[in-house]
Structure 1
């Protein structure tokens, strides 16, 4: 046996049992013994103490924050105790403390326990027997399972590679639902508030399809392919989920198209179905290729928890795997039954805030007291103002904006505090009339001219190009306080986030880069070789997707992108595409690391627009294309790499996942482009704020405003003349990151749960139709479930939390789709006070300003000074 900590012995009624004797009695490998023999062997010393072995079993299940989470895996963990000695256990714990010590997601209680264990039995203070047992238990958990309770609740520590995955029936079902999901989600994605045919909903619909296929399809082979390999499996269902997730997310390029095509914006009517398909495929495949490169940073590391995908895994388990009947915190209801009850309740209740009593959705009740009071609306309004309202909605589609049952509580609270302070800053800007924001509604994405009207871009364009003489005669563009603040922080957060995440996660970046270079030199080497966490060890059973496969996808999509912008009248030079894509690739690496651990994703949203304005001044279309190749491909890469992590947790063959994602992209793009054509050609007033069915295209308006400010007018006039503070925000962000990094090092305990990137991210929630009111209810829910219940009733939380999230979301989606198709697509108005009060006053009309335009007829810079 390996050496134990010194001076340990186990006194009992028969004398003193040495450490070596104790170890030999319950640590010796006994894989050939029966379960009862294993139990007797491991607890022979305990029985000498006259302890009840069942008590120790309960200790194993409850130790290390496991509670009943490991009830299904307890036998597995007990078996692993036989394979690890004290010396190895200490090594595992020390490595884990070094690796997870600064990880906010890692349970603080477990971390403290591990630190005591490595200090020795005396520091641990539980007696030599329990010290030895807990030492091996914690090490076994780290080496053979997951240290994160949320991951343990959805991810099995074992795998069976023989389970069918990439079957013909799985492809047929998955591609059918990706087609449906793509069309429906693209259709309703322009609506405000929007809902989606989410991954959870599609899972619910695809499970009975799979089970039906397993019953009715004959078990025969056609061209060597077995049509029915038996019962519908859990892995097939996850495989289908990964296919359908492509459609559930939506094609990013489609959301940009209305801003370019519609007459109310840039009016590029040449952009038809064919161009949409080509650009959609380009963005999707570039994102897929980039996702493959990002695997080392965001899929394989154990720190990459990916909280956003855990509900999907839990729902799949609930629908297809047996649920042990156990009493947890007084609850005995199965996860499946719980899901159905919540789903039904959510489905029925959503009729109230979405149709019958819409004031429950936008519950701006303080403004009802004095509907025409501007100051009240600015402070407490849900639309025009800051949203300082303690009770803002009873609508889950609004509450879920902050993903309160999915994201860690530290993510929600950091962003909420940032949003809270941002609201105060916005109001100060309005009431001090900073940069003429008092003459503009406080929180809007629209751009205004000096006369207080919406900026008319046609008045500064000559044959589609910016004309400085016309601009001098007309007006500079002015933006709201919320928009100005949001843009300033968005510039700051790019450099801040890049520097801060690089500093805090430098070791992860270094190891990933070294592994990537090694894989290119030795293409036969598996990517899993450099990762020793339990999931990666199991994944070594499957052939990995070589990095050069993804590099080929990157190269082809890049070539198609260059051909597309050159062949069509996009007015965008090819070299601009090259520059933006290179910057996008550089930035996404630290940003995807941040997203994989916190659920918050930074992207080249505004930065792409700025680059377009600098590279090709005076052209708003170029700004949109640079934003597409910046934010668009980053967003697609985030989706694909998240699904690869989903497959990693479920132990799916990587090459099967690669094939599935490639095929699903083709289906998605053709269906999504069709949905856009349907809306553009068949829906009256599409994207207008007065559209009867609320297809107002919030993002299209925001994109138009940004492209006007930074594209048509240009960064020079914007940064040097109108808002010079903006250009300094890049430098401020980079400089602030360094002291924040050192503050986290020297005050690690005090600042453990403070994340400055998330805090700054809260400021970005203003500048459009969103404000604090959309996130206050989510804070309440997050505190209750992701903090209180997770800390006090971990077993209940592990079993039901993600199921609750999936059921509420699925109920809203089903109900919303039914309401839309039956009552809203061709509106059947229900006119009464409860459906009118929230939009009746100043807050509802969204046009009031703190100051009125002066008697001179205009505000702002003196005439002739803004060109």
Structure 2
């Protein structure tokens, strides 16, 4: 690895990033005169944040969800920004020290990126809405809308204070690449910069992007509407439709995914923005779990696995009947011990139970991996925080005022205070100290998980460890359990989101204070809109989360987790009283697994062993449900083509077009998804034929 203290000179003799992935996407120059937090920013970002957050919340309930991605936001806001530049008067509005120009010049890349950050807060549906949904639909308990808004907004905002603490380590350092941001940087530069390649006779990146977008949009009518089976092609199910074993082995969505594949870009998890070593680790984890552990455990009848479905997240009694959760609850949603004694603890499919074991191992492996591979580096950061990790991009950002720590701490303090009030006043069952404990756990995990996310584009979640901790402390309290989980998990996740946006702004050279304002504004607006949209769905669709088209897969998994960890409690499931107590050993397994691979990498520092990442391997193995097995083989195949072969042997093409190709494919899918929904799906215009049958209909949908 190159020494980032001495800088790196590119082929033109200019100082640049020492990492090829960054050099391929990010400019090593900056124009500080470009305006960012403009009147146009507010005029575009607020309405779009409202629309995107409402749309994505509504359609997140669909079985096959539709969402507006960051790519489509960039596409739509580009012509609007340029139109406002032409139409708005060149006039300054005087408001004392807060005066501003209505039209401060051409619509530029920095301004565009800031709009994407603000509106992007609405692309991810607020996790707290899951709490509101399971209370309304499964637990039959109504929460006042103000309480739901406070719950959602506070869970979304507590992570900002945590993000400020680790800004220098996770953003400023050149080693923290954040691969997910590079596609956005490439697309923004494609839109706003002159393409020097056209003078050399190459296809311009903008022309390439438009051609890919057009081709992707036209093609997506096939898997998106005309022949949906192209999204989940399960060869064994097609060849032997009445053979249960073949269906379990080959189902893309309900089995092991053997010989299954997809011809739908939307189902491939976008491998074009993930380093190949991370893709290979992810696929190795999938093979280990889905093709070895799951079938061996299932067909060996471990935990009476043959009595339950092969794949799924539902809960059952020991007689393989649906678990009667609601019948075990008192009116205050606490566990009725007498009824529970009659029914007993729930049972899971072997796959679902094994996934929990892997999740335990992920958490302990993260800490060990980071200590072994980055421990000395982190200590050095603390010793020399002013210089470590600085490259050309960090030095260019020094001209802009940083965000004061008081801003971060202020948001954290206000959010925490409101969170405590919400939990106490609106009857979640989570006491004030539970909120503080959740935030403490999020803070402890943020640095190690942040390093893995910034390097490998893979983020282990805290949902299991948070459920585990509060389940032991407050057993028999499902709403308290999921509330604690949400503050803990989203406290860290929102911090990571904020840090990723800061890295995008770091690459685009946007003033940090403007980024903070844009991201926080988008989060507040989106959180309120998520809640309002969810309540509208509750009132307008009585069969929400119960019909085939609006099944709410994520909500069902969330509800099952609330039963396992909240109603029953981890001790009765995984502890000394538990049917699955052996899974507790996976904490120790995860702690020890990184050690031999680290020793091998020290013994053979130039071999491929140094690329083995135990947390990434285990994270992929714990991704199902709700992830589908068939995703991973195509993910690996695309990774071999683009992130290995083209990256190594066609490096000039890869540097010029890889991220543009990724953006174009995403944009085409998004455009056609809109057309299909508004023109066809919304009007109940459907095609009922063999090409649109569900994947492996012989198997029950047990998600």
* Aligned partner (choices 49, 53, 68) of residue 197 of structure 1: 68
Q: 1:514, CA displacement in angstroms?
A: 5.3
Measure the CA separation in 1 of the matches of 2:384 and 2:129.
36
Equivalent of 2:570 in 712, 715, 727: 715
For the structure 1 residues 646 and 183, does the alpha-carbon distance in structure 2 shift closer, same or farther, using more than 3 Å as the test? same
State the distance in 2 between where 1:370 and 1:532 align: 58
Give the superposition deviation at 1:212.
0.7
Q: Does 1:425 pair with 2:284? A: no
Name 2:349's counterpart in structure 1. Answer: 480
Aligned to 1:338: 208
Indicate whether 1:288 and 2:163 are aligned.
Answer: no
Question: Which residue in the other structure is 1:8 paired with?
Answer: none
The partner residue of 1:238 within 99, 102, 113 is 113
Q: Shift of the alpha carbon at 1:237?
A: 1.2
Q: How big is the shift at 1:476? A: 2.1
- Which residue of 2 is the match for residue 42 of structure 1? none
Secondary structure, counterpart of 2:611 in structure 1: coil
Paired residue for 1:360? 230
Contact 1:368 1:838 in 2 (8 A): no
Using the TM superposition, name which of 741-750 and 495-504 deviates more.
741-750
Superposition RMSD in Å: 2.2
Matching residue of 2:473: 615
Q: Report the Cα offset of residue 812 of structure 1.
A: 1.1
CA deviation vs aligned residue, 1:472-531 (integer Å, no higher than 9, x gap): 212320011111111001011101111211221123422444578xxxxxxxxxxx6665
* Aligned equivalents of 1:657, 1:775: Cα separation in 2: 35
CA distance in 2, matches of 1:565, 1:138: 54
**Matches of 2:358 and 2:240, distance apart in 1:** 33
Could you tell me which runs of 5 or more consecutive residues in structure 1 were left unpaired when the two chains were aligned: 1-95, 101-113, 115-134, 517-527, 849-867
Give the match for residue 277 of structure 1.
149
**Residue aligned with 2:665, SS:** helix
Any gaps of 5 or more consecutive residues in structure 2? none
Match of 1:161 among 21, 32, 44: 32
Shift of 1:393: 1.3
Q: Which residue of 2 aligns with 1:834?
A: 691
Q: Is the 8 A contact 1:250 1:672 kept in 2?
A: yes
Query: CA contact under 8 A between 1:346 and 1:807: conserved in structure 2?
Result: yes
CA distance in 2, matches of 1:477, 1:642: 39
2: CA distance between counterparts of 1:245 and 1:204? 13
Is the partner of 2:18 in helix, strand or coil? Answer: coil
SS at match of 1:505: helix
Q: Is the Cα–Cα contact under 8 Å of residues 580 and 611 in structure 1 kept in the other structure?
A: no
1:601 to partner: Cα distance: 0.5
Equivalent residue for 1:93? none
Given the alignment of the two structures, is residue 379 of structure 1 paired with residue 254 of structure 2, yes or no? no
Report the Cα distance in structure 1 between the residues aligned to 2:382 and 2:432, rounded to whole angstroms. Answer: 29
Give the distance between the partners of 2:204 and 2:198, measured in 1 at CA: 9
CA–CA distance in structure 1, aligned partners of residues 4 and 109 of structure 2: 32
Work out which structure has the larger RCO, using CA pairs closer than 8 Å and 6 or more positions apart in sequence: 2
Partners of 1:846 and 1:431 lie apart in 2 by 20
User: What aligned pairs does 1:680-829 form with structure 2 within 5 A after superposition?
Assistant: 680-688=538-546, 690-691=547-548, 694-719=549-574, 720=576, 721-750=578-607, 751-766=609-624, 768-829=625-686
SS at match of 2:262: coil
Query: What's the offset of the Cα at 1:299?
Result: 0.3
In structure 2, what is the equivalent of residue 35 of structure 1? none
Q: Structure 2 vs 1, CA of residues 511 and 695 (structure 1 numbering), >3 Å: closer, same or farther?
A: farther
Which has the higher Rg, Structure 1 or Structure 2?
1
Cα deviations across residues 616-635 of structure 1 (Å, max 9, x unaligned)? 01111122111101112211
Question: Do residues 591 (structure 1) and 459 (structure 2) align?
Answer: no
Cα distance between partner residues in 1 of 2:402 and 2:42: 21
State the Cα deviation string for residues 111-161 of structure 1 (Å, max 9, x = none).
xxx9xxxxxxxxxxxxxxxxxxxx9956996x8211122211221112121
Q: Which moved more, 1:825-834 or 1:562-571?
A: 825-834
CA distance in 1, matches of 2:134, 2:604: 47
Q: How does 1:24-103 map to 2 (within 5 A)?
A: 97=2
* Aligned position for 1:537: 395
Q: Identify the residue that residue 396 of structure 1 maps to in structure 2.
A: 265
Distance 1:793 1:638, change over 3 A: same
2:140 counterpart (267, 274, 299): 267
| 8 Å contact from structure 2 (residues 314, 702) kept in 1 | no
CA contact (8 A) 1:297 1:592 kept: no
1:249–1:513 CA distance, 2 compared to 1 (3 A): farther
TM (norm. structure 2) is 0.94
Question: What is the Cα deviation at residue 745 of structure 1?
Answer: 1.8
Residues 137, 318 of structure 1: CA spacing in aligned structure 2 closer, same or farther, 3 A cutoff? closer
Q: Aligned partners of 1:678 and 1:821: how far apart in 2?
A: 19
Is the CA contact 1:368–1:837 (under 8 Å) kept in the aligned structure 2?
no
Q: Deviations over 1:403-425 (max 9, x none)?
A: 21111111111111110110121
Distance in 2 of aligned mates of 1:505 and 1:268: 46
Q: Is contact 2:9–2:15 with CA below 8 Å preserved after alignment? A: no
Distance 1:824 1:450 in 2: 41
2:285/2:621 contact within 8 Å kept? yes
Q: TM-score under structure 1 normalisation?
A: 0.77
> What residue in structure 2 maps to residue 492 of structure 1?
361
User: Is residue 253–residue 629 contact of structure 2 (8 Å, CA) maintained in 1?
Assistant: no
- Asked whether the equivalents of residues 316 and 346 of structure 2 are also in contact (C-alpha less than 8 Å), the reply is yes
Q: Which residue does the alignment assign to 1:187?
A: 58
CA shift in 2, pair 1:235/1:473, >3 Å: same
| In 2: Cα distance, 1:225 partner to 1:600 partner | 41
Contact 1:246 1:668 in 2 (8 A): yes
Tell whether the 8 Å contact from 1:195 to 1:397 is kept in structure 2 after alignment: no
For 1:4-54, what per-residue CA distance to the aligned partner results, in whole angstroms no more than 9, with x for missing partners? xxxxxxxxxxxxxxxxxxxxxxxxxxxxxxxxxxxxxxxxxxxxxxxxxxx
The structural deviation recorded for 1:814 is 1.8
In 1: Cα distance, 2:583 partner to 2:199 partner: 57
* 1:11-22 matched pairs, under 5 angstroms: none
2: distance between equivalents of 1:413 and 1:192?
29
> Could you tell me which of 265, 272, 287 is aligned with 1:405?
272
Query: How many residues are paired up?
Result: 694
Cα deviation digits, residues 230-269 of structure 1 (max 9, x gap): 111121111212212212233222244312221xx22222
Deviations 1:682-728 (A, max 9, x none): 1342112x33xx32211111111122112211111112231111222
Shift of 1:297: 2.1
The reply on whether 1:227 has 2:96 as its aligned counterpart is: no
Aligned residues of 1:297 and 1:508 also touching (Cα < 8 A): no
Give the match for residue 253 of structure 1: 128
Contact 1:287 1:636 in 2 (8 A): yes
User: Could you tell me how far apart the structure 1 residues matched to 2:409 and 2:380 are?
Assistant: 20
| 1:620–1:707 contact (8 Å) kept in structure 2 | yes
